[in-house]
Amino acid sequence: MSGADWIGWAASAVLIATLIRQVVVQWRERSVEGVSSWLFVGQLAASVGFTVYSWMVGNPVFVFTNSVLLLTAVIGQLIYRRNRRLADSGESDRTLH
């Protein structure tokens, strides 16, 4: 693995950790405040395109990273919908224990 590969994998790890942290916070807070459903729709569309592109140019770092970003977009959208449903039903004030 080249030095450039190490930089790519390290950047991938930072980005994925950041997004996972945001999804966890969104799950725990059970709130849609400040979050748009379109964020996850856009991330989903971009991640599909970038994953296909990365595969076509043969870049395994970006194939992996964009596949994980695609997964976080799907999970984020599902959590957003859950939180929206809870907010609409008045249940979002409850906390999980």
pLDDT, tens only, 44-68: 888 899 899 999 999 999 999 999 9
Q: What is the pLDDT of residue 66?
A: 92
Q: What is the pLDDT of residue 23?
A: 83
Q: What is the pLDDT of residue 27?
A: 85
Burial per residue of 56-84, b for 16 or more beta-carbon CB atoms within 10 angstroms, e otherwise: eeeeebbbbbbebbbbbbebbbebbeebe
What percent of the chain clears pLDDT 90, i.e. is strictly above it?
A: 30
- The domain 3-89 is placed in CATH, from the list 1.20.1280.290, 3.40.50.970, 3.60.150.10, 3.40.640.10, at 1.20.1280.290
The parts of the chain modelled with pLDDT lower than 50 are: 96-97
Q: What is the pLDDT of residue 59?
A: 92
